[in-house]
Structure 1
């Protein structure tokens, strides 16, 4: 039987040294419950990053969301991931007719949103929203950076650590191609100074269940366009991320792009 609610109480582990220093002016935010241990997708499957990132968002959220990672009690982390994968993730996909929401290839953001909103209904919690993070017509790279920063901060302020979709692109010849996508959970976002070209953040990587830090930055070189000012994506400067690197060849140029986000905004 698939549990209708997902989660577990865990002995506290201190990860506070990994947090960004957050100001109190509303320009930076951090998640709650940061002493908890992350969910690790490898407990179940190498392609379960979406469901696992969602559970990490629940685990580090405010109490009303956190109970989705704590009920029913006494389940292991592996069983909680399995409950999503074999339950709401197996419903028919709206975005990909004829397929389940989750497959061997993982899950896309729209289906992950639908999974999350199906789960949240069990506790009468508000729906999550997704946003594709592409440069808008007439938008400067600096405004784009501020918009992405604002979305992440807003969801953290609402008590729900947002999920970030990232994707590795490789350039071979004159062509950029996507080689692997991934989801992570944002746990803190630092202040974005005026005229900045990047901002610091911390995140939980479901691949291995670990806390990491990095930046989201304006890419100075042309990416998917001939004009850097019109680059469609910001870059995720995540030094510890191995996403897509196993597919790179010697001499390949690659970028880990910020693709979309799922949260409360």
Structure 2
């Protein structure tokens, strides 16, 4: 469905298995958005990627997530010494989640999974930036794997270390994009997404856009996800915040 005022073609690019049932992280662990999103990406993908999902033992969200955490999440991180990839307090970071994804796909004859930080190049216009980000998402979709994206909330708050107010990241969350416009018109400043939010296991709609409000030097695109309140419980009264699209895990 085309939402009014969002300015793009009605033709969309959809996940191959768009009728899959979302994995719900809350059935297993509160900070399991990474492992749950891996499972969602694989099961919403084409038949080759779905085989990875079905190879994970378990018949529900709880059992599958717990198996993924035990088999791949509890391994030592290659990027943060002295810690496991996943833990119950902090969840998992972008690099460790990518490592997990590649180990899960290793024997399934599918392309290597990569990560990319979606920040704006110094000489890149906002319209070129959003088109590049859209293209990166689309490439993974066309190769049969709906990408996992990192959504990060920033808050404008005072920090004692620097002695002034500035924008600080306060919380991040992984979701899987399952539908985007097939193309963007010239000069587009936003596009609609449909995505799977593992926190509760819901399919949601939102918008990615170049508008970042008073965070004028924000290196990322803004994200409006009305039903996914990432990090809002960590926001102090009166603070200005911004949700951003900061990184992607997929294949291209």
**TM-score normalised over the length of structure 2:** 0.90
Name 1:11's counterpart in structure 2. none
User: Residue 107 of structure 2 aligns to a residue in which SS?
Assistant: helix
Asked if 1:188 is matched to 2:172, the reply is: no
Name 1:121's counterpart in structure 2. 106
Matched pairs, number: 240
User: Residue 115 of structure 1 aligns to a residue in which SS?
Assistant: helix
1:106-255 residue pairs with structure 2 within 5 A? 106-173=91-158, 174-190=165-181, 191-223=183-215, 228=216, 230-255=217-242
Distance 1:258 1:106 in 2: 18
**Cα offset for 1:148?**
0.4
Distance 2:212 2:121 in 1: 18
Name 1:9's counterpart in structure 2. none
Q: Deviations over 1:10-46 (max 9, x none)?
A: xxxxxx999x9852xxxx4110121121000001001
Q: Deviations over 1:210-256 (max 9, x none)?
A: 00001110025342xxxx3x431111111111111112233211001
Distance 1:59 1:244 in 2: 27
Distance 1:193 1:172 in 2: 36
**Cα offset for 1:125?**
2.2
My pick for the range that moved more, 170-179 or 141-150, is 170-179
Q: 1:73 to 1:47 in 2, by over 3 A?
A: closer
Q: Is the 8 A contact 1:92 1:101 kept in 2?
A: yes
**Cα offset for 1:141?**
1.0
Distance 2:235 2:56 in 1: 42
Write out the 4+ residue segments of structure 1 that deviate beyond 4 Å after TM superposition: none
Q: 1:220 to 1:178 in 2, by over 3 A?
A: closer
Q: 1:53 to 1:38 in 2, by over 3 A?
A: same
Asked if 1:262 is matched to 2:249, the reply is: yes
Q: Is the 8 A contact 1:22 1:30 kept in 2?
A: no
Q: 1:74 to 1:102 in 2, by over 3 A?
A: closer
Q: Is the 8 A contact 1:58 1:68 kept in 2?
A: yes
Note the residue ranges of structure 2 that are not aligned, 5 or more in a row: 159-164
**TM-score normalised over the length of structure 1:** 0.85
